[in-house]
Amino acid sequence: MNNKYLILVNRNNQISEKYECEIVNCDSIYAKDRKLEKETYLQFKKLEDFISKKGYTIAIESGYRSYDYQKKVWNEILISKGIEYTEKFVAKPGYSEHQTGLAVDFLLYENGNFYDDVKMLGHPVLKLVADNAWKFGFIIRYPLGKEKITEYGYEPWHLRYVKNKKIAKYIKDNNLCLEEYLDMLKK
């Protein structure tokens, strides 16, 4: 794949340990030390602004995670919880999309509290993001009903930057996941 913004990383497609992209420090009201690929960050800020004009505050919870960081997390959880738990819930180093710098987990800030992952389920902000993320080049990476293909549960808070808005809109309008879109390109 020549287009780096369409890179596929999942449980069967490993990212090279040498993968490099331009990583920048992010400004997030949630945490100070988050990082993302440069363009992903710029576009996420625009999405954040758009959502804020609709009356909700979202922020970066998790962005770029390096290979070494993922390895550290993997080893720590392996020691404390054992292999079965670790394999089920933690991405192996090299298999986390967060290593691309193109993945953002966002959370919601409302009435002085942060709401992340399942605590946001049912909140209107999720639909607002799902309907509009394409305008900024993002897709919902782990959509509902695609669990067998993505091998991840529904994660409406995990956005993936694909850059091209037409592609992002096409994926949304046709209810595809990234794996299905890339398969379609091959045919």
Q: Catalytic amino acids? A: 155
Say how far apart CA 6 and CA 119 lie, in whole Å.
29
Residue of the chain from 56, 71, 105, 114 that contacts Zn ion (CB under 5 A): 105
The least distance separating Zn ion from the CB of residue 158, rounded to whole angstroms, comes to 4
Handedness of CA 77, 83, 87, 88 (dihedral sign): negative
The least distance separating Zn ion from the CB of residue 133, rounded to whole angstroms, comes to 14
Q: Which of 8, 59, 62 is nearest to 35 (CA)?
A: 62
- Tokens 């758009």 correspond to what residue? 50
Q: Which residue is nearest to Zn ion (CB)?
A: 158
- Of 105 and 110, nearer to Zn ion (C-beta) is 105
Q: Which of 35, 31, 28 is nearest to 59 (CA)?
A: 28
Instruction: State the CB neighbour count (10 A cutoff) for residue 126.
Output: 18
Q: Which amino acid is at 18?
A: K
117 binds Zn ion, rule: CB under 5 A: no
Task: Give the interface segment with Zn ion, choosing from 78-86, 120-128, 156-164, 170-178 (CB under 5 A).
Answer: 156-164
The least distance separating Zn ion from the CB of residue 33, rounded to whole angstroms, comes to 16
Task: Give the interface segment with Zn ion, choosing from 2-10, 143-151, 153-161, 169-177 (CB under 5 A).
Answer: 153-161
Instruction: State the CB neighbour count (10 A cutoff) for residue 97.
Output: 22
Number of residues that bind Zn ion (CB under 5 A): 2
| 8 Å CB contact between 116 and 61 | yes
The least distance separating Zn ion from the CB of residue 186, rounded to whole angstroms, comes to 26
110 binds Zn ion, rule: CB under 5 A: no
158 binds Zn ion, rule: CB under 5 A: yes
Task: Give the interface segment with Zn ion, choosing from 40-48, 68-76, 115-123, 150-158 (CB under 5 A).
Answer: 150-158
- Of 34 and 158, nearer to Zn ion (C-beta) is 158
| 8 Å CB contact between 74 and 92 | yes
| 8 Å CB contact between 118 and 68 | no
Which residues make up the interface to Zn ion (CB under 5 A)? 105, 158
